[in-house]
Amino acid sequence: EKMQAAGEFDRLLRQATGVAKAPYVAEFVRLLLESGQKVLLFGWHREVYSIWQEKLAAYNPVMYTGSESPSQKQAAKEAFIAGDSQVMLISLRSGAGIDGLQHVCSTVVFGELDWSPGVH
């Protein structure tokens, strides 16, 4: 029980940290976007993505996370590559193996860190 409680506490603490930092991360990303750069913004928690979507709405953020279907992910990727979106909110794990973004974007922001450094 103690190990399970500790794991749950860790998960909640990481989420709370992400939520607390999310508005500031969005402001930093906004500065990059205003300078004309496209941005890949990596995160993990749905609540954090919601804050980023709201704060960066003017840049038409697209999502590439574990919640989207393969066709939705493909549409998001295409919109980002085509320039219809300037920022892609991408999951630390769902984006593994994605190709093609390197041709249009070289700016990456880790808005949330994964619990495993191997993911980065």
- For the chain, give the percent of residues with pLDDT over 70: 95
Going from N- to C-terminal start, the domains of the chain cover: 2-119
Look at residue 14 in the predicted model and tell me its pLDDT.
86
The pLDDT of residue 117 is above 70: no
Angle between helices 46-55 and 2-34 (to 10 degrees): 20
Structure tokens at 59: 């840049």
- Residues with Cβ within 8 Å of residue 22, at least 6 apart in sequence: 47, 48, 51, 52, 55, 111
Superfamily of domain 2-119: P-loop containing nucleotide triphosphate hydrolases (3.40.50.300)
Look at residue 97 in the predicted model and tell me its pLDDT.
81
Residue 107 sits at φ, ψ, to 5 deg, of -110, 120
Taking the alpha carbons at both ends of the chain, their separation in whole angstroms is 31
Return the higher-pLDDT residue of 11 and 28.
28
- The Cα–Cα gap between 34 and 29 comes to 9
Residue 80 sits at φ, ψ, to 5 deg, of -70, -45
Task: Supply the mean pLDDT for the chain.
Answer: 91
The pLDDT of residue 94 is above 60: yes
pTM of the model: 0.89
- For the chain, give the percent of residues with pLDDT over 90: 72
Supply angle C-alpha 42, 71, 62, rounded to 5.
35
pLDDT in tens, 33-86: 999 999 999 999 999 999 999 999 999 999 999 899 999 999 999 999 999 999
